[in-house]
């Protein structure tokens, strides 16, 4: 059996970890007094007859002077709170754990998600670590709301086995708080595959429906229309072609494709959408004859089902940020970039957008990019920067997690 560095078995169940706490404070009666419950309630906790609420769990952790994250899931160190022997993790913040636990448990009941107690503990531990990391990167104290927590729940509902949730948590540890310089590529490959599956589940869920409804309606704003017009003109000049082939990666509800189909007869359109919900919305446009027949397929941007040199324009408007950027591994975002360069013709145009920042949001696995990280990414591909713009966003950065989007236009050499 693998042993904890504090000589506590890593695989202890929650009641067994509670038993460790009972011993540390001097018995069941002492713990009951310290946390304000009856001794019989402690007995029920120890025998798994009653579930512990988040406030009682924190009270036990404080009384026994153990890490609440360890008590909840068995992860990390019993006393220090440092996972995997790392001393880089943020200081434990109990208030955040309480907020996450309460919202998560409410949503499990409301949406009837089938998580057993061990899965729930793993999920809450992962969400706490992910959001605590986010707090550290953004320099804020995060106050999760119900809808944000629902988005995360829909994401991890696709990954609800204990093993898969553990991979999510361990990938965060490996990338952000490494105990060694070794990168386990096959482990990260499994994680990236899970990220794609979780992303697909999210955008096919109620949260995804809200997202698409906010952006659907079929009409683009005047700025987006002008950008499409300029992009088509640029591609015509760059390739020397009057008729263009266009691929929209992560085409969502199909609103960009529908606009081009209505106004540019010289552009042959294809779209790729990961989610079932977005794919269904595009199919509705096809049935309404607003998009060409069979123009949109469901698929993964890391494995494009198109021949080399097939497209004059690849359009990736805030879609590639769903893939993590792990430099020089050939995984995630790098897989997608390899495929984009393969299907793009020489002198073809790539338009892509990212939320501005320099970190990963693990609770929904979104990649934030800045000038430095984009320059490093682009340097590995036969791409030349043609245009770089920054779009200041509203509402406030606190609500969006970033204050601007970055838009790049690149030409394949």
pLDDT at 127: 94
Q: Distance from first CA to last CA of the chain, Å, rounded?
A: 55
Burial (0-12, 13-18, 19+ Cβ within 10 Å), 209: middle
pLDDT of residue 209: 87
Q: Concatenate the DSSP letters of all residues of 357-390 into one string.
A: SSEEETTTTEEEB-HHHHHHHHTTSSEEEEEEEE
Greater confidence (49 vs 130) lies with: 130
Average pLDDT over the chain, rounded to an integer: 88
- Which pLDDT value is given to residue 84? 40
Sign of the dihedral through C-alpha 303, 306, 307, 311: negative
* Alpha carbon distance 212, 275 (integer Å): 11
pLDDT in tens, 66-80: 888 788 877 667 775
Phi/psi at 61 (5° precision): -60, -45
Higher-scoring residue by pLDDT: 49, 359: 359
Looking up tokens 């609500």, which residue turns up?
A: 399
- The pLDDT-based confidence of 395 (bands split at 50, 70, 90) is low
Contacts of 244 (CB under 8 A, 6+ apart): 232, 235, 236, 266, 267, 268, 312, 313
Contact 61, 101 (CB under 8 A): no
pLDDT number for residue 4: 35
* Contact status, residue 404 vs residue 389, Cβ threshold 8 Å: no
325 bridge partner residues = 332
CATH of 216-412, one of 3.40.50.10490, 3.30.750.24, 3.40.50.150, 3.20.20.140: 3.40.50.150
Task: Give me the residue spans of the domains in the chain.
Answer: 14-186, 216-412
User: So what's the pLDDT on residue 215?
Assistant: 66
Q: How large is the average pLDDT for residues 149-178?
A: 91
One-letter-per-residue 3-state SS of 171-235: HHHHHHCCCCCCCCHHHHHHHHHHHHHHHHHHHCCHHHHHHHHHHCCCCCCHHHHHHHHHHHHHH
What pLDDT does residue 86 have? 43
For residue 61, is pLDDT > 60? yes
pLDDT score at 162: 87
Pairing of strands 359-361, 366-368: antiparallel
Looking at residue 218, its pLDDT comes to 57
Count Cβ atoms below 10 Å from residue 400 Cβ, excluding itself: 13
**What one-character DSSP code corresponds to residue 89?**
S
Report pLDDT for 340: 98
pLDDT tens for each residue of 206-238: 888 888 887 655 578 899 999 999 999 999 999
Q: Tens of pLDDT along 123-140? A: 988 999 999 999 998 888
Mean pLDDT for 358-379 is 93
């Amino acid at each position: 059996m693998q042993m904890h560095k504090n000589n506590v078995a890593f695989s202890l169940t929650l009641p067994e970890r509670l038993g460790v706490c009972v011993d540390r404070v001097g018995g069941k009666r002492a713990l009951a007094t310290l946390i304000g419950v009856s001794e019989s309630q402690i007995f029920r906790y120890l025998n798994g007859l009653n579930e512990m609420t988040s406030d009682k769990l924190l009270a036990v952790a404080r009384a026994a002077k153990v890490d609440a994250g360890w008590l909840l899931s068995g992860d990390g160190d019993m006393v220090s709170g440092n996972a995997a022997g790392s001393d880089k993790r943020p200081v434990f913040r109990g208030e955040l754990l309480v907020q996450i636990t309460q919202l998560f448990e409410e949503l499990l009941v409301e949406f009837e998600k089938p998580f057993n107690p061990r899965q729930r503990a793993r999920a809450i531990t992962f969400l706490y670590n992910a959001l605590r990391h986010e707090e550290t990167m953004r320099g804020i104290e995060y106050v999760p709301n119900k809808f944000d927590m629902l988005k995360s729940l829909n994401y991890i509902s696709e990954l609800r086995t204990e093993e898969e949730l553990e991979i999510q948590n361990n990938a965060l540890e490996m990338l952000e708080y490494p105990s060694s310089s070794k990168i386990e590529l096959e482990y990260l490959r499994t994680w990236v595959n899970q990220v794609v599956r979780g992303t697909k589940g999210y955008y096919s869920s109620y949260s995804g429906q809200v997202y698409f409804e906010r952006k659907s309606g079929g009409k683009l704003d005047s700025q987006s229309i002008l950008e499409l017009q300029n992009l088509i003109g640029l591609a015509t000049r760059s390739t020397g072609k009057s008729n263009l082939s266009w691929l929209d990666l992560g085409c969502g509800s199909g609103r960009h494709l529908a606009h081009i189909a209505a106004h540019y007869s010289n552009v042959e359109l294809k779209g790729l959408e990961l989610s079932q919900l977005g794919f269904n919305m595009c199919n509705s446009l096809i049935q309404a004859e607003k998009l060409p027949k069979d123009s949109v397929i469901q698929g993964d941007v890391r494995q494009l089902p198109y021949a080399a040199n097939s497209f004059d324009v690849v359009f990736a408007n805030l879609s590639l940020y769903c893939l993590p950027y792990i430099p020089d591994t050939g995984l995630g975002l790098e897989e997608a970039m390899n495929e984009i360069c393969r299907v793009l013709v020489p002198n073809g145009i790539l338009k892509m957008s990212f939320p501005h920042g320099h970190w990963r949001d693990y609770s929904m696995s979104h990649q934030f990019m800045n000038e430095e990280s984009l320059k490093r990414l682009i340097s590995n591909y036969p791409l030349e920067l043609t245009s770089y713009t920054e779009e200041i966003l509203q509402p406030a950065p606190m609500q969006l997690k970033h204050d601007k989007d970055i838009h790049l236009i690149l030409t394949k050499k």
